[in-house]
C-alpha cells in the first residue's frame, strides 16, 4: 500500500483496504472475547493476531501516517494563527530579529 497523497487523504483503494481492516477487526474482537472465556487457545489467538497484522499492517501504517499528517497540518495552522495573534497584540513591543 502506498503512502497517502500530499492532501493527507486516503485514495479509494486505501479507503477500501482500511474498511476491510475495520471489518476484520470485529473477528479479532470476537477472538479476544473467546480467549477471555477460555474458548480459544493462546496459540490460536496469537496466530489470528499475527495474521491480521500481516494482512492489514500496511493499511494501518498508511492510515496512521495520514492521521499524523492531518494533525500536523492542523497544528501548524493553529500555531501560525497564535503567532499572528501575538504579533497583533505585541505590535511594536516585539523584539527585532537578531542581526546576522
Task: For residue 41, tell me if it sits in a domain.
Answer: yes
Total domains in the fold of the chain? 1
Instruction: Give the C-alpha separation, 95 to 82, whole Å.
Output: 17
Residue-wise pLDDT tens digits, 67-97: 999 999 999 999 999 999 998 888 866 666 6
Q: Which residues contact 48 (CB under 8 A, 6 or more apart)?
A: 27, 28, 31
Q: What is the pTM of this model?
A: 0.61
The cell numbers describing 15, all together, are 479507503
In a domain, 5, yes or no: no
* 53 located within any domain: yes
Instruction: Please check whether residue 20 lies inside any domain of the structure.
Output: yes
- 8, 69 Cβ separation under 8 angstroms: yes
Sign of the C-alpha dihedral, residues 33, 39, 41, 44? negative
Tell me the pLDDT tens digit for each residue of 47-56. Answer: 999 999 999 9
Q: Which residue has the cell 475495520?
A: 22
Confidence at 1, pLDDT banded by 50, 70, 90: very low
Residue 64 is part of which domain span? 12-92
98, part of any domain: no
Flag whether 2 is in a domain: no
Q: Residue with C-alpha cell 492532501?
A: 7
Amino acid at each position: 500500500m502506498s503512502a497517502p497523497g500530499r492532501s493527507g487523504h486516503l485514495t479509494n483503494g486505501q479507503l477500501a483496504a482500511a474498511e476491510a481492516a475495520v471489518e476484520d477487526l470485529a473477528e479479532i474482537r470476537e477472538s479476544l472475547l473467546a480467549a477471555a472465556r477460555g474458548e480459544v487457545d493462546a496459540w490460536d489467538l496469537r496466530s489470528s493476531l499475527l495474521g491480521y497484522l500481516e494482512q492489514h499492517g500496511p493499511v494501518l501504517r498508511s492510515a496512521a501516517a495520514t492521521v499524523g499528517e492531518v494533525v500536523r497540518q492542523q497544528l501548524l495552522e493553529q500555531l501560525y494563527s497564535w503567532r499572528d495573534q501575538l504579533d497583533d497584540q505585541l505590535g511594536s513591543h516585539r523584539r527585532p530579529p537578531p542581526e546576522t
